[in-house]
Chains A and B, each alone.
Chain A
Amino acid sequence: MPDLQSLGDNLQVGLEHYLTLSVMLFSIGTLGVIFRRNVLVMFMSVELMLTSVNISLVAFSRYLDDLNGHVLVLFVLAVAAAEAGVGLAILVEIFKKRDTVDVDEFRQLME
């Protein structure tokens, strides 16, 4: 039977853990944008990237004991919502005309 108390004392969740999580989310988001072809999924991946930004900002803010990071997080959230709003509105517009949300179908603007 391992001693749970000492295990807990030795495993502190520190700045590195949050940053690692943030980097992982950012990478997943980037890969999602690059490899998925469904525009909705691509937008979700972008949201994932923005979430990772927020995690790292909050972690830094907490670590530095400084509130400016939190302020930036609030604005990033609002901006992400606005961006998603505009993006989805444009997508709805396109979907009405083409009945698809696959980026490979949008090839009219090519050389």
Chain B
Amino acid sequence: MNFTWSDAAYFGPEAVMGLTFLLCVLGDLVTRGRRHVVPFGTLLVGTAISLVLALLHPPVSSHAILGQMVVVDGFAHFFRLLFLGITFVTALLSWSSREIMGRDREHQGEFYALAAMLCFGMMVMAESADIVMLALSLEAVSITSYILAGFARFSFRSSEAALKYVLWGAVSSAVMLYGLSLFYGLTGATSYEGIRAGLSGGQGGMALLVAILFVMAGIGYKISAVPFHFWTPDVYEGAPAPVAAIFASGPKIAGFALMIRFFYVALVQDDSQGTLALLDDVQWPWVLAIISAATMTLGNMAAIRQNSVRRLLAYSSIAHVGYMLMGFVVLSANGLAAVLFYLFVYAIMTIGAFLVVVALNNRVSGEEIDDYAGLGFREPLVAAMMFLFLISLTGLPPTAGFIGKFYLFAAAGEAGLWWLAILGVLNSVVSLYYYMRIARAMYFTPPELSGRVGLAQAHLILLVVLAVPTLVLGVFWSPLKEFADQSLRMLLGGG
């Protein structure tokens, strides 16, 4: 175990984000919290530099750094780009949000520092190859998220959301840490590779089952899978809308990245023929398949009953976790590639849908579906974009959501999990109903008021920027699919 400066070359984007966090704090400090453009600019510049660094030096082989605790490979590269993009977009959309400004803009600078920290934590989550780093990066993301959830200090709902989040988050991370301690005890190793070597004897038994279930509980909480989903609607509703947009994309995707690396490196072996097999006789894919089925069904059933757009989107994000788990349980490179593809697409369309909520939230008081009545006449552009994102979330052509779902269902079918694929299709049909309730309100209900709503220019531009890939990836998706395939190559042996 050795730490050297040469590791820094591979850790560049993360190091830049860490420094960005410190500079944001420092900027807020030097300007005495009055000029928010300083931390805001620092975050944008830092994210851009990090993005350029990541793009300039894509990893050509799997490289373990920082005492073998962090692995930089194609998989990490994929998620780096995704998280940096998410951070950049959400920073932009939060700039003119009423909820982030607060009453006196006293704390707005802190938001950007926290966003930088969140991005840093998420990138390390996707790269961690040791349970020490796993626990640390997960907590870095969690603790930052708790603060962000309660960011609107003047709002009791925000504080309540933050309290629920921190309470159940602390419980689930304690449960997960207990599971990790069992892994350590069973194998005597903290690195994923060491755990795999320790488990290849194949007699984990009951303790291994408990350890896997406990770790699943911790990750399930982060990605809000049933039965650990109950905090999601409350937090998305109570937290400021830009924060909800971050939560629905960033930490959830990071949870998936962490889960894929942990389960596929520590608990699965590659028998050099390209097929993946379980190390032990603990059938965790079956547990996850049932969780997947329950998550999409319950998420969709609950979404039908919602009247608040934000709660509806929260339940819809739960349902999407169910779809993505489908690609995770099949134990094949195709399934994982489908998950990666869908994560990318999901980030774009979810942030897009939440961006509409953020933009309207500045001007309209309510967030019920009825409050969106007549939006199609008052703000044709915003309504059209929202309609596009809703179509994509449902999974109808010609949008990126359709391609993503197609790959997921195909991967499940290919692995013989036909019941899961059929359930997924049925759930998509159900989801059409509640997404179209918003569309119906926008286009078929006459508005109570007339005239433009008057939205921020930046939000409109950002909406178009997000809508373009949603459409383009729907007809021209092969580059992204190839990128996803290539990213996995180093993770699943042969790298």
Contact = CB atoms under 8 A, between A and B. Distances in A.
A touches B (Cβ under 8 A): yes
B132 A79 contact: no
Contacts of A75: 132, 135-136
B146 to A, nearest CB: 5
Interface in A61-88: 61, 63-64, 66, 68-69, 71-72, 75-76, 79, 82-83, 86-87
Contact of A50 (B164, B177, B311): B177
Contacts of A86: 143, 146-147, 166
B350 interface: no
B136 A79 contact: yes
A33 B170 CA distance: 10
Contact of A72 (B166, B182, B190): B190
B149 to A, nearest CB: 9
A66 B188 contact: yes
Nearest to B146: A86
A87 B170 contact: yes
A111 B311 contact: yes
A28 interface: no
Given A46-B171, A76-B135, A83-B139, A109 B160 contact: yes
Contacts of B174: 29, 46, 49-50, 53
Given A49-B175, A52-B178, A43 B132 contact: no
A60 B156 contact: no
B54 to A, nearest CB: 27
B163 interface: yes
Contacts of B184: 57, 60-61, 68-69, 72
B275 interface: no
A71 B306 contact: no
Contacts of A50: 174, 177
A81 to B, nearest CB: 11
Interface in B291-311: 305-306, 311
Interface of A: 19, 26, 29-30, 33, 39, 42-43, 46, 49-50, 52-53, 56-57, 59-61, 63-64, 66, 68-69, 71-72, 75-76, 79, 82-83, 86-87, 90-91, 93-94, 97-98, 103, 106, 108-111
Given A49-B175, A86-B143, 12 more contacts: A19-B185, A42-B167, A53-B177, A75-B136, A79-B139, A83-B146, A90-B162, A93-B153, A94-B160, A106-B163, A108-B157, A109-B233
